[in-house]
């Protein structure tokens, strides 16, 4: 029953909904506040286990426990959002609210063949369709952005129908096997050790082919260099694509024929790994429209194009996509984008304000249930009871319910 309570607490969109689920599906009346307290308690226990593993990782003593030694694996990192409030003990009401980053890692094993030649030399057709590209850019902005108004507008937007992929587009994708998740609101340094510990447990460091995939943010390169040296470092293609689309729109105007034509030329160069040509094309546009003056607004086209050029230059060494496809490595951010959405469904919302320590606990339980290796259930099979979960008379029909 306690397992059901935790499951409802972290997989329903709120503790109120979790209480309704327990009443309807488990025939158990329990308040949302009680579910919250229990969920946070179990999450804190999972957090303690995580921190013990991180401590062992820092001492180079963490045991490798892969169910199967992976041949191909990838680590993805990115961040979502959640709102916190001050834990000031002053009673009801929200004070000291602030947005915080929920840093997330997605670790996936794959079944993928190596190829003598690039198995997909042409840009996928969906990335050449204006309505699909715009939708991808919008979705990525929603995952990472702060604007609630943007979310409301996006919810009313009409989504394009997905286009069926051709056979050549299907065969190039590595087949995912098992996903596990790491999440925290702690700083980048501690997050790095958490992700490294998870990779160590799953035997990723011994895999013959392994990729570290990131969005090109300033923290990505140092993060990967510290914890994943010698891996193939890949710039997530979708993030690169959105930067190119933004640069093309800035140069020629959003949704113009000229902007779309320039975007298609840029994204083709990127797909083929012709980074030198890509940089020269952007340099020519900077020369044509001029460099941005100091203190120019970020919305200025000159600023946007200049930042796009800087982004490509900074990540040029992680854009050899034909080689990555030949090695059977992933190049898309889809796994981490999907995972962040699943975390956001539980912890992000205009009406949700978390105490920071309680948020950290809930993130641990959420990560366990979003992992596909059975760790959520293993916790319960190995956990020892440490006390009564509810008052002695609260559940008279279940006298053995303990925590």
- DSSP E strand boundaries for 215-294: 232-235
Structure tokens at 350: 């205009």
* The pair of three-digit structure tokens given for residue 3, joined into one six-digit string: 């397992």
Mean pLDDT of the chain: 88
Q: What is the pLDDT of residues 329-356, one digit of tens each?
A: 999 988 998 999 999 999 998 889 999 8
- Give dist(CA 302, CA 286) in Å, integer: 7
pLDDT of residue 397: 53
- Which residue pairs from 392-395 have beta carbons closer than 8 angstroms and sit at least 24 positions apart in sequence? 395/28
Count of alpha carbons within 13 Å of 33, Cβ hemisphere only? 0
Q: Quick one: residue 388, left, alpha or beta (phi over 0 = left, psi -120 to 50 = alpha)? A: beta
Q: Using one digit for the tens of pLDDT, what is the confidence trace for 227-256? A: 999 999 999 999 999 999 999 999 999 889
pTM of the model: 0.86
In angstroms, the CA 332 to CA 343 distance is 19
- Token look-up 């020892």 returns 384
CB 55 within 8 Å of CB 48: no
Strand extents, DSSP E, 305-376: none
In the sheet with 98-111, reading across from the earlier edge strand, the strands are 175-184, 98-111, 72-84, 209-214, 232-235
Residue 136 in this model has a pLDDT that exceeds 80: yes
Question: What share of the chain has pLDDT > 70, as a percent?
Answer: 87
Instruction: Measure the CA–CA gap between 214 and 353, rounded to whole angstroms.
Output: 28
């Amino acid at each position: 029953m306690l397992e059901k309570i935790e499951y409802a607490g972290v997989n329903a969109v709120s503790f109120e909904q979790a209480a309704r689920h327990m009443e309807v599906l488990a025939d158990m009346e329990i308040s949302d506040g009680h579910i919250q307290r229990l969920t946070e308690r179990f999450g804190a226990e999972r957090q303690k286990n995580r921190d013990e593993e991180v401590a062992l990782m820092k001492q180079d003593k963490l045991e490798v426990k892969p169910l199967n030694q992976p041949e191909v694996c990838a680590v993805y990192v990115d961040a979502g959002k959640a709102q916190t409030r001050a834990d000031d003990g002053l009673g009801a009401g929200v004070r000291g609210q602030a947005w915080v980053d929920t840093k997330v890692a997605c670790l996936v094993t794959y079944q993928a063949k190596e190829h003598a030649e690039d198995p997909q030399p042409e840009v996928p057709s969906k990335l050449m369709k204006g309505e699909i590209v715009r939708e991808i850019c919008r979705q990525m902005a929603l995952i990472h952005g702060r604007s609630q108004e943007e979310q409301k507008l996006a919810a009313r937007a009409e989504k394009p129908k997905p286009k069926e992929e051709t056979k050549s587009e299907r065969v190039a994708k590595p087949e995912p096997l098992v996903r596990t998740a790491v999440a925290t609101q702690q700083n980048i340094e501690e997050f790095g050790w958490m992700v490294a510990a998870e990779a160590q447990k799953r035997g990723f460091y011994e895999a013959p082919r392994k990729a570290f995939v990131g969005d090109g943010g300033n923290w990505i390169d140092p993060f990967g260099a510290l914890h994943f040296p010698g891996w193939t470092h890949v710039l997530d293609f979708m993030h690169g694509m959105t930067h190119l689309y933004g640069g093309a729109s800035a140069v020629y105007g959003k949704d113009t024929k000229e902007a779309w034509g320039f975007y298609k030329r840029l994204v083709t160069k990127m797909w083929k790994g012709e980074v030198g040509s890509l940089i020269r094309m952007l340099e020519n546009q900077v020369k044509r429209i001029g460099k941005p003056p100091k203190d120019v607004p970020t919305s200025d086209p000159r600023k946007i194009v200049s930042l796009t050029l800087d982004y490509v230059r900074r990540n040029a060494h992680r854009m050899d996509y034909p080689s990555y496809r030949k090695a059977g490595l992933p190049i898309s951010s889809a796994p981490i984008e999907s995972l962040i959405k699943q975390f956001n469904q539980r912890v992000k919302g205009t009406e949700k304000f978390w105490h920071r320590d309680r948020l950290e606990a809930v993130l641990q339980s959420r990560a366990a249930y979003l992992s596909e290796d059975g760790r959520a259930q293993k916790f319960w099979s190995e956990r020892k009871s440490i006390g009564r979960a509810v008052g002695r008379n609260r559940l008279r029909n279940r006298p053995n319910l303990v925590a």
